[in-house]
Structure 1
Amino acid sequence: MPEVGAIGDANSVVIIAKIYKMMGERGDLNNLREQIDSIFSPALSRQYWQFYDSLLSLHFKYNDVDAAAELMLDLYRRTRSLNSSSVLPPVKSNGSQTQCFLQVGSSNLRTGSRIIIDSLNLKNDFLVAAKSQPELILLVDGKLLPSSKAIAKLINGYVKERNVDKLSNFLINVQKEAGIVEADLCSDVLHACIMLRWLDTAHDILDDLELAKIPVGANPYASLLNAYLKENMWEESKVLVNQMKKVGFVVSVCNEHGESTCVVENTAANHLDKRTSNLVKKSDMLQFLELEDREYNFGNRLVYEFNSSILFFCKAKMIEDALKTLKQMRQRNVQPTVLTFSYLVDGYSSLGMYRDITILWGEMRRQMEYGMLAADRDLFDCLLWNFLRGGYFERAMEIINYMLKHNMYVDKWKYRREFLKYHKNLYCSLKASDCRTDAQNRRLEYVRAFRKWSGIDR
């Protein structure tokens, strides 16, 4: 695109966002968000739906719960501005004001590329279609809102970090600052915490909501009190009963068949329960939260931080610092991923250190044999391209065999072109009998094998 002077549009932004999400490049995606936010209007919700979903996904992968909460709260604020206006504002393009430069690759202008993006350039004939719908952000009546899965990730992240006060502040801000009457949200969060037996968390949230004068229905109080009674937590139940009486609920504790339960009688405040009386039926958030609680692994969050550092050093051609970061990963028992090795291969390649890539390939191969690293076509493709450029044909044939073994497509034409570009006349007239060493003989053998596989020699 930079070479032909093409200007990117909204589709380009979404495609780039998906690539950044796949590569874990949150910093670049955050930089792009500044431009999108500056021109965003409700009329553009559908065009940039997948963009914001990709950004929110990366916030959670990096375990940056605060950034995720800020983005979700921003979406609620936009919903308020949309509700206050009955007519969607028209989308107007101000020419160069809506255009920005997007740096792709290294920040070094000699090696990287700068793409011009017109974020208001909307094409009607094509819109990026995802194979699966975004999971963290929903498009509801033209509004972008966090899904139950996103809320569950937020809850789990704050609870694991012991930052329940930040979770409470998020709920309070959704109610007050965003101007959204979301009684269901607070009640659903409380209900999910109680069902997971996070009773202290639920009680802390209730306390914070009371201090902020956020109305909560009787059901969360009753559910928490019943949970306390079931767990024989008498002191906590007494404190909660006193709180409920101050709020205005009339509480009676009865004992049937040796089991204590509480009954909350109708009061003036009980009208708040009209929307929370069916909490048991609203299980989406609870199911997502249970799944997040089971799958939570702090090491998975650390790997994105390490990979981000390795990517930065490789882009800056600071390969020694990238290797130090890899060493730190191992010291903290964080398993390198496909992205880790992809960044290192690119870093070595930018410096022409092809021999070091062969050493790195040996480590990757061992990890794949032990089932610690998944076979990835993009990684194999990158390795094969570098081995051909460096003249390591034995390693090139190993990669080809690995790809064929895993039923991966190998573009023979592309690699044939690379071979002819760099090694067109290599060993054309040399015979096996003319080889002076065993190493030269093996090299000749693998060169011939590649020429035959790629169709150069018939």
Structure 2
Amino acid sequence: MAQVGVTADAHTISIISLIHKMNGLRDELKKFKKHIDQVSVPLVSCYQQFYESLLCLHFKFNDINAASDLVQDIYGFQVSHHEQGNVTQPPKPCLVAIGSDNLRTGLKLRIFPHSLSRDSVFNVGRNQVLVMYKNGKLVLSNRALAKLIIQYKRSGRINDLSKLLCSIQKKGSVESSRMCSDVVAACICMGWLEIAHDILDDLDSEGNPLDASSYVSLLTAYCNNNKLREAEALLKQLRKSGVINASDPLLAPASMCELETESKNKLKELGSLAKGELAYHIVEEMRAEENEASFMMHDLNFSIYFFMKAHMVEDAVRAYRKMQAMKIHPTVSTFMNLLNGYSSLGMYREITILWGDIKRNMESRKNLNTRDLYEFLLLNFLRGGYFHRVMEVIGLMKENGMYLDKWMYRREFLKYHKGLYLRIKVSDAKNDVQTQRIEHVRHFRKWVGLD
């Protein structure tokens, strides 16, 4: 698109965001954000997938600060657009650099975020996992909120989580005001009572206190967990701040220790919270994180991609060796980044060496058995003339029931090795290595229908 001068519209940008998300290219995707943030309100729904992809990558890279900033932008820029009444200067197309901005000969993609083509041949659909479109606005899903809570809790930054919630609550929407109560309720359900208490205190100090039900729920949880000292301290705090009625007979005892069983049950009934959807997602995300690749893997994958793109092979290999030293399992993206770099430089021998690593990883990790990886290997072995490896990959693809495009392989063979061993017989071979090579070439020619 950059070479022929085609301008990317909203649909195209959404497709690009999906591709960058699949390849873990967060920095490439971030280049589009400042332009997309300026679109008018009617076009916001078209960029739900873009914000979904970018937020997903922030979480994958364990960048809680970037994720928090993006969340505030999602809630903030829509409010600013409404306040401005969408009165802006006429939009113009803009350019986004592909790859490093420092490359003199680098390509630039022309985009027009304010444009929406009606004759798109591909619809990305609505993959609303982290960011949803509701009532004309983009909002966070409970899964995204669960990821934020987990990462803030892990880093011990509950105060920053409270500030984020305050910032969202000040936007004034019903969804944002309910979010704070949901977070406190989820923390109580998870048994994180101190965190729930800290959030309530932070919200109160920021001038955005929640209603009495959240405090009563925490009070109930303290009582049910026999944390009577904390319950009494919270009760005094609530009476002093006027959040609850000091004359309420249910809360009249001077000490929580003196509460009757009937009063406890009534208090529990008033403040009880079923394990809601947010708490469920917190549990699910904590389980999923145990099986997910570490954020360090995504950082190293991007380093390998960047170095190979710049033809800095030694640095890319160094990043790959670092991954091995840290016992981080390489992914399909890891090997594809390395293969792309080697292939662009015609380093086919290095690809055969890398193939050994790929096979060793495939033995223990079945998710590496993808058709894209096999086919890219096959094409490079074919171009490099490693027909033993070609037939080996073909055999593995057959074992896994993968489609083999014989016409494409035949075309590649004729392009690079059209007359190879046509007039040489096996008996003319000078050694065993050449004998095997001639046999592999003949087997391949027969397989693709040339003989």
TM-score, normalised relative to structure 1: 0.88
Counterpart contact for 2:49–2:126, Cα < 8 Å? no
CA shift in 2, pair 1:362/1:201, >3 Å: same
Correspondence for 2:46: 47
CA distance in 2, matches of 1:106, 1:352: 26
Correspondence for 1:256: 261
* Deviation of the 1:9 alpha carbon: 2.1
Deviations 1:267-309 (A, max 9, x none): xxxxxxxxxx898468221211111122224852221111111
The question of 1:6 aligning with 2:10 is answered no
CA distance in 2, matches of 1:109, 1:376: 36
CA distance in 2, matches of 1:183, 1:245: 24
CA shift in 2, pair 1:402/1:52, >3 Å: same
Correspondence for 1:269: none
Correspondence for 1:217: 211
* Deviation of the 1:389 alpha carbon: 1.3
Give the counterpart letter for 2:75 in structure 1: Y
Give the counterpart letter for 1:45 in structure 2: V
Question: What count of residue pairs does the alignment treat as equivalent?
Answer: 438
Question: Could you tell me the percent identity over the aligned residues?
Answer: 41
CA distance in 1, matches of 2:101, 2:22: 18
CA shift in 2, pair 1:33/1:279, >3 Å: farther
Counterpart contact for 1:168–1:209, Cα < 8 Å? yes
Correspondence for 2:286: 293
Counterpart contact for 1:322–1:344, Cα < 8 Å? yes
CA distance in 1, matches of 2:79, 2:394: 55
1:86-165 equivalence runs, <5 A:
89=86, 94=91, 97-103=92-98, 108=103, 113-126=107-120, 128-130=122-124, 133-165=127-159
Counterpart contact for 1:73–1:174, Cα < 8 Å? yes
Specify every segment of 5 or more residues in structure 1 that has no aligned partner in the other structure, as ranges.
266-276
CA distance in 2, matches of 1:239, 1:280: 22
CA distance in 1, matches of 2:261, 2:216: 17
1:357-436 equivalence runs, <5 A:
357-371=351-365, 373-436=367-430
* Deviation of the 1:264 alpha carbon: 9.6
CA distance in 2, matches of 1:17, 1:65: 20
* Deviation of the 1:192 alpha carbon: 0.4
Deviations 1:402-454 (A, max 9, x none): 22222222222222111111111111111111111111111111111222222
CA distance in 1, matches of 2:130, 2:208: 26
CA distance in 1, matches of 2:374, 2:101: 22
CA distance in 1, matches of 2:225, 2:202: 23
Which structure has the highest strand share of the two?
A: 1
Counterpart contact for 1:93–1:120, Cα < 8 Å? no
CA distance in 2, matches of 1:308, 1:80: 34
Partner secondary structure for residue 260 of structure 2: strand
CA shift in 2, pair 1:122/1:83, >3 Å: closer
CA distance in 2, matches of 1:14, 1:2: 16
Counterpart contact for 1:14–1:128, Cα < 8 Å? no
Counterpart contact for 1:338–1:374, Cα < 8 Å? yes
Counterpart contact for 2:14–2:124, Cα < 8 Å? no
Correspondence for 2:20: 20
Counterpart contact for 1:188–1:279, Cα < 8 Å? no
Counterpart contact for 2:200–2:209, Cα < 8 Å? no
CA distance in 1, matches of 2:289, 2:21: 20
* Deviation of the 1:324 alpha carbon: 1.9
Counterpart contact for 2:58–2:67, Cα < 8 Å? yes
Give the counterpart letter for 1:34 in structure 2: K
CA distance in 1, matches of 2:141, 2:382: 47
CA shift in 2, pair 1:304/1:426, >3 Å: same
CA distance in 2, matches of 1:174, 1:132: 24
TM-score, normalised relative to structure 2: 0.89
CA distance in 2, matches of 1:68, 1:303: 18
* Deviation of the 1:186 alpha carbon: 0.8
Give the counterpart letter for 2:385 in structure 1: G
- Provide the alpha-carbon RMSD of the alignment: 2.7
